[in-house]
Amino acid sequence: MSDLTCLNASQQEAVTFGEGPLLLLAGPGSGKTFTITQRILYLIRERRITPEKLLVITFTREAALSMRQRFAQISPQEVHTVNFGTFHSVFYQILLQSGRISSGNILNDRQKRDLILPILKKITDCKKRSVAEVTELAGNYLAAIGYYKNTGDIENSRKKLPEEEKQHFSRIYEAYEEARKNTGGLDFEDILKECEEFLQRDPGQRTYWQNRFEYILIDEFQDINYRQYSIVKILAEKHRNIFAVGDDDQAIYGFRGARPACMRQFVEEFGAKQILLRTNYRSHPDIVEASLTVIDENKDRFHKDLEPCEAHRRQAGGHKTDAGYRKEYRVKIREFSEASEQMSYLVQSLKNRINGETCAVLFRTNLAMQGVAARLTGEGIPFSMKEKGRNIYDHFIAQDLLSYLRIAQGCATRADYLRVSNRPYRNISREAFGAEASLPALKKYY
């Protein structure tokens, strides 16, 4: 028997939800993983659903393993028969068990790069670029191709390329696909595309997999993309038992094709009921209050009235009154019109607190962190960070400029001339320099 006494009212309502589609809006720290595992247990123990009929999907292998381990703690005997996996692993198994693909034919990064490099050299003018630049361009194209396979969105796929390369995307994509098919291999992203097309084309197999998975539970639903959502719709078409858990305020993978709009689409297309897990068990009341102040600026979202748990509320000194909160927990929110203004405020704040105090600065992206690290270095403020700092002078553009400056000063090496001779393109061959590196020597050939 499952124990529902350890659940709050919203969690109980979600766990004991009956048939049909449900969108569980799970705020930060609201115990969503706990709720999902209790839901699985409830379906097996109370509703007598065969464990093999349950499909639990997460977005990373680590999350799938963690979910499986969490469920094993409460139900060790059933954990081996419930289907846990990522979108890609589940769809891969569908293709594999249906005989659509064979094992071991997923291309790795090196194999994909080896396929696309000859195509780039044939279609684009790689003579103007160094080996490092061509390698970087290959990575850009592979990212754009992967994005397109995940989403089918060609315009946003092109945006991942330099402006001068966007015109070549369709030709390179077609040439790459031809080369890939000749090898018999699949990209990681091909799994989604192949699975969707397979289920659409084969009615018999579609019915088989719909009956195989009568209940589908999806974690981090805000990170789903349109192709993943399309496959889920196909699998759930017969039984319509989708238990989707997510929070559109925590969507951060748009650059990979994630579409939080699928949450609204799910509610509209399936007529899904909505339940909100509103109690935050992780954060101090001030954090909850401040986060809502910031997040509420975004109007295109599911509105959520979140609250701290009672234990944290008592720790803060009572209910939501300024007099009741401890002063040291207060959170301040500041707005800046310019990034430079924000940077100056950060630097000054760190200078004011530098004596005997340690401070943490959190960043949304690695790029933002690198900029602050450079500023702190210039200000003489000591700091440490796990990520390796990037030196802007190591970038190829900076190296090009330095080569031009050394040529202008008359202290350039042959490597400097070779580096910039065709930037911009001038149709100068390497042999034109010979062993002597100088502009007079170059004039003998032109």
> What is the C-alpha to C-alpha distance for residues 325 and 146, in angstroms, rounded to an integer?
49
> Could you tell me if 202 and 240 are in contact, meaning their C-beta atoms sit under 8 angstroms apart?
no
Name the pLDDT band for 425 (thresholds 50, 70, 90): low
> Could you tell me if 186 and 212 are in contact, meaning their C-beta atoms sit under 8 angstroms apart?
no
Residue range 299-323: average pLDDT?
73
Q: Which residue has the higher pLDDT, 153 or 19?
A: 19
Lowest-confidence region among 178-182, 222-226, 233-237, 394-398:
394-398
What pLDDT is recorded for position 9? 94
Name the pLDDT band for 323 (thresholds 50, 70, 90): very low
Q: Which residue has the higher pLDDT, 391 or 264?
A: 264
Reply yes or no on whether the pLDDT at 366 is more than 80: no
Reply yes or no on whether the pLDDT at 235 is more than 70: yes
Q: Which residue has the higher pLDDT, 267 or 189?
A: 267
> Could you tell me if 199 and 224 are in contact, meaning their C-beta atoms sit under 8 angstroms apart?
no
Lowest-confidence region among 109-123, 214-228, 232-246, 346-360:
346-360
Using only the alpha carbons of the chain, give its radius of gyration.
Answer: 28
Reply yes or no on whether the pLDDT at 445 is more than 70: no
3-state secondary structure the chain: CCCCCCCCHHHHHHHCCCCCCEEEEECCCCCHHHHHHHHHHHHHHCCCCCHHHEEEEECCHHHHHHHHHHHHHHCCCCCCCCEEEEHHHHHHHHHHHCCCCCCCCECCHHHHHHHHHHHHHHHCCHHHCCHHHHHHHHHHHHHHHHHHHHHCCHHHHHCCCCHHHHHHHHHHHHHHHHHHHHHCCECCCHHHHHHHHHHHHCHHHHHHHHHHCCEEEECCHHHCCHHHHHHHHHHCCCCCCEEEEECHHHCCCHHHCCCCHHHHHHHHHHCCEEEEECEECCCCHHHHHHHHHHHCCCCCCCCCCCEECHHHHHHCCCCCCHHHCCHHHCCCCCCCCCHHHHHHHHHHHHHHCCCCCCCCCCCCCHHHHHHHHHHHHHHCCCCCCCCCCCCHHHCHHHHHHHHHHHHHHCCCCHHHHHHHCCCCCCCCCHHHCCCCCCHHHHHCCC
Average pLDDT, the chain: 87
Q: Which of 15, 18, 17, 21 is nearest to 238 (CA)?
A: 21
What pLDDT is recorded for position 3? 65
Q: CA 295, 296, 299 angle in degrees (round to 5)?
A: 110
Q: What are the backbone angles phi and psi of residue 305, rounded to the nearest 5°?
A: -90, 95
> What is the C-alpha to C-alpha distance for residues 56 and 215, in angstroms, rounded to an integer?
8
> What is the C-alpha to C-alpha distance for residues 133 and 204, in angstroms, rounded to an integer?
48
Q: What are the backbone angles phi and psi of residue 276, rounded to the nearest 5°?
A: -110, 125
Reply yes or no on whether the pLDDT at 231 is more than 80: yes
Measured N-to-C along each axis, helices 203-212 and 190-201 cross at an angle, to the nearest 10 degrees, of 110
Domain covering 9-99+192-277, topology: Rossmann fold (3.40.50)
> What is the C-alpha to C-alpha distance for residues 349 and 352, in angstroms, rounded to an integer?
5
> What is the C-alpha to C-alpha distance for residues 108 and 396, in angstroms, rounded to an integer?
27
Lowest-confidence region among 32-46, 184-198, 225-239, 328-342:
328-342
Q: Which of 1, 264, 216, 26 is nearest to 13 (CA)?
A: 26
Structural domain boundaries in the chain: 9-99+192-277, 109-184, 278-333, 336-390, 395-443
Residue range 268-287: average pLDDT?
93
Residue range 392-403: average pLDDT?
83
Lowest-confidence region among 76-80, 155-159, 393-397:
393-397
What pLDDT is recorded for position 329? 59
Q: Which tens digit of pLDDT belongs to each residue from 59-69?
A: 899 999 999 99
Residue range 357-376: average pLDDT?
84
What pLDDT is recorded for position 70? 94
Token readout for 227 is 């192709």
What pLDDT is recorded for position 324? 46
Q: Which tens digit of pLDDT belongs to each residue from 99-156?
A: 888 877 889 889 999 999 999 988 887 766 777 788 888 999 999 999 898 888 889 8
Lowest-confidence region among 51-55, 369-373, 422-426:
422-426
What pLDDT is recorded for position 319? 46
Give every CB contact of residue 405 below 8 A, 6+ residues apart in sequence: none
What pLDDT is recorded for position 246? 95
> What is the C-alpha to C-alpha distance for residues 91 and 220, in angstroms, rounded to an integer?
17
Reply yes or no on whether the pLDDT at 13 is more than 80: yes
The dihedral through the CA atoms of 44, 49, 51, 55 has a sign that is negative
Q: Which of 94, 266, 228, 91 is nearest to 150 (CA)?
A: 228
What pLDDT is recorded for position 259? 84
Q: Which tens digit of pLDDT belongs to each residue from 288-310?
A: 888 888 888 888 888 888 888 88
Give the burial class of 92: count Cβ atoms within 10 A of its Cβ; 0-12 exposed, 13-18 middle, 19 or more buried. buried
Percent of the chain with pLDDT over 70: 89
Beta-ladder partners of 277: 26
